[in-house]
Structure 1
Amino acid sequence: MHMLKKAFCALAMMAATLVSVHAEEKTITMGTLSWEDLTPITGITKKVLEDHGYTVKVTSFSEWGIAYAALSKGDIQILASQIDYVAQDYWNKNKNRLEKISPVSHGLYQGIAVPSYSSIDSIEQLNANAEKFGNKIVGIEPGSGLMNDATNAVKAYDLKLQLLEGSTAAMTAALKSAIDRKENIAVTLWDPSWMTQKYEMKYLADPKGVFPPPQSYYWIGRKGFSADNPNAREALAGVYVPIADIKAINGAVKDGKSMDEAVKDWTDKNADLIKRWENIKKY
């Protein structure tokens, strides 16, 4: 009887351990940056994973270096990132400890843009039309990747226009004011942005190739994530969010909705699409 009791206790402990392991497998720790391209991707993917029965914990980071460090250490399991350009240095530094899981969007682009009614189409035309643009290009925060590229463009094209450092808010206000008056303005801009949805803009051609081509977003994870979490990996692989939809979600946020509300509106509207994504067996 005593031996039977000990065996029963051992089985109970083993069952408790298995339940604990199972619970851990059904929890995903996801990292994000609170930027208008990554936040919608994160929210939509979170919804899909939850539909597959996962508990998803999201941690927001202020910049790439901190996010990649957390991923490499295992503080988070997955992170949506561009790895070919914007975060390429961080990816290259940590890639031996990381893995690419699946693409989730494509179309990130940064450049110098003007209103669609402007008469020029190329960065090469800026000098000849400098006065029309107030002899300036309105930029955003100094030190950003976009401003670094814009600085390189000024040098590469020997532009006589001054590249103004400032903030995204100040650039946005200047852009709105110019468009309201049908005036010319040159700004540093990016996609996906609600501004390219709200205003008819065009990126100036870049024949010297200073600005990189459109980039892709991937879900990346700590090495071994896919092998340890094959079902979550399959769920992630089904998710793809077009850049136009990311812009639309951010446009709704700009118009007063919270990000959670805008993401829910999108997932409700695209329920059939999500069902196709989730055509994989739920685990």
Structure 2
Amino acid sequence: MKKSLTLMLSVVFLFSLVLAGCSGGEDKKQIKLAYVAWDSEIASTNVVKTVLEEKLGYEVEMLQVDAGPMWQGVSDGSADAMVAAWLPGTHQSYYERFEGQFEDLGANLEGAAIGLVVPTYVEANSIEDLADPAVAELFGGEIIGIEPGAGVMTATENAIEAYGLDLTLVNSSSAAMAQELQKAYDEQRAIAVTGWTPHWKFAKMDLKYLEDPQGVFGEAEHINTIVRQGLAEDMPDAYKLLDQFNWSPDDMAAVMVAIQEGTDPEAAAKAWVDANEDKVNAWLEGVE
């Protein structure tokens, strides 16, 4: 009898441990952040991820996708949030397509911009200058772009038509564009790329935007935080943090440069968070 009772108690004890383990897994706070693989958004999303994990105890899943799926994911709830909405121009079409299916928490960074970028040693100063066949020849008849479908790519296609440029927009990626720019810069060759700020390339090279007298690329932009509907009720602490997340182009550039110089994105984000306690605490004010 004693042996049977001991065995039964052991089974009950083990079963209770299994239940406790299952319960713990269910109680784990989880959140999904969508982002595009731009240097700026890799930096911002990793910083938010670090704060969510270290300060609020979340398990964060990062979903790297193109711009369209990023907006789709937050709108249909398969992603919880993004801090990568470039407005009012770059992501205007996505904003309009999914409007009413997400919550816009406003700007997390002001002073962003898009346009055509060249090294300062290039004599051209305006997009109009590229209409000169001799100038276009200096650029090899090309503008080096990023992923097709990106807002800056659409704007560049419109600029080619508006200014009557005999230049071909080359589809590429953010990383490949930066590599081509760096190579041409090192060789002091003329090159034109689709560019935006904040971006680490402006800290590493002397670059300039070509003037856009027709305003094809629009005015200064801002980067907004977008969350799925219902996040405030489901994850009030994460929602509060995301709503209060705000930093400067210089803050973002510091993380981007560290990543570009070889630091792992998570490590670069953690270093920035550790060095900017006052700013991080402001994001967490009132979070329970």
TM-score range, shorter chain: 0.7 to 0.9
The Cα offsets for residues 117-139 of structure 1, whole Å up to 9 and x where unpaired, read as 22222111223333443444333
- What's the C-alpha RMSD, in Å, of the aligned pairs? 2.9
2:64 and 2:182 map into 1 onto residues whose CA distance is 30
CA-CA distance at 1:153 after TM superposition: 0.8
Deviates more, 1:252-261 or 1:123-132: 123-132
Match of 2:48 among 45, 48, 68: 45
1:158 and 1:183 map into 2 onto residues whose CA distance is 23
The Cα offsets for residues 175-224 of structure 1, whole Å up to 9 and x where unpaired, read as 22332233332222222322222111000011111113232222222223
1:154 and 1:63 map into 2 onto residues whose CA distance is 24
Contact 1:100/1:221 (CA < 8 Å) preserved in 2?
yes
1:235 and 1:166 map into 2 onto residues whose CA distance is 34
Instruction: Give the secondary structure class of the aligned counterpart of 2:34.
Output: strand
CA-CA distance at 1:156 after TM superposition: 0.4
Q: Residue type matched to 2:109 in 1?
A: S
CA-CA distance at 1:269 after TM superposition: 1.7
Match of 2:153 among 136, 139, 147: 147
Instruction: Give the secondary structure class of the aligned counterpart of 1:96.
Output: coil
| Residues 254/55 of structure 1: CA separation in 2 closer, same or farther (3 Å cut) | same
Aligned length: 263
Uncovered stretches (5+) of structure 1, i.e. residues with no partner? 1-15
Deviates more, 1:40-49 or 1:168-177: 168-177
2:37 and 2:169 map into 1 onto residues whose CA distance is 26
If the length of structure 2 is used for normalisation, what is the TM-score? 0.78
Contact 2:142/2:170 (CA < 8 Å) preserved in 1?
yes
2:234 and 2:149 map into 1 onto residues whose CA distance is 38
Match of 1:94 among 91, 98, 110: 98
| Residues 118/240 of structure 1: CA separation in 2 closer, same or farther (3 Å cut) | same
Contact 1:101/1:226 (CA < 8 Å) preserved in 2?
no
Residue equivalent to 1:5: none
1:236 aligns with 2:237: no
Residue equivalent to 2:5: none
Contact 1:101/1:233 (CA < 8 Å) preserved in 2?
no
Structure 1 stretches (4+) deviating beyond 6 angstroms?
none
CA-CA distance at 1:241 after TM superposition: 2.4
Instruction: Give the secondary structure class of the aligned counterpart of 2:258.
Output: helix
User: In the TM superposition, what are the counterparts of 1:15-94 in structure 2 within 5 Å?
Assistant: 23=27, 27-82=30-85, 83-94=87-98
Contact 2:117/2:207 (CA < 8 Å) preserved in 1?
yes
Residue equivalent to 2:181: 175
Deviates more, 1:134-143 or 1:194-203: 134-143
Contact 1:98/1:221 (CA < 8 Å) preserved in 2?
yes
Residue equivalent to 1:203: 209
Uncovered stretches (5+) of structure 2, i.e. residues with no partner? 1-19
Residue equivalent to 1:266: 272
Match of 1:113 among 112, 117, 130: 117
1:79 and 1:140 map into 2 onto residues whose CA distance is 20
Q: Residue type matched to 2:195 in 1?
A: L
CA-CA distance at 1:76 after TM superposition: 2.7
Contact 2:108/2:224 (CA < 8 Å) preserved in 1?
yes
Matched-pair identity in %:
32
| Residues 281/171 of structure 1: CA separation in 2 closer, same or farther (3 Å cut) | closer
| Residues 137/63 of structure 1: CA separation in 2 closer, same or farther (3 Å cut) | closer
| Residues 191/177 of structure 1: CA separation in 2 closer, same or farther (3 Å cut) | same
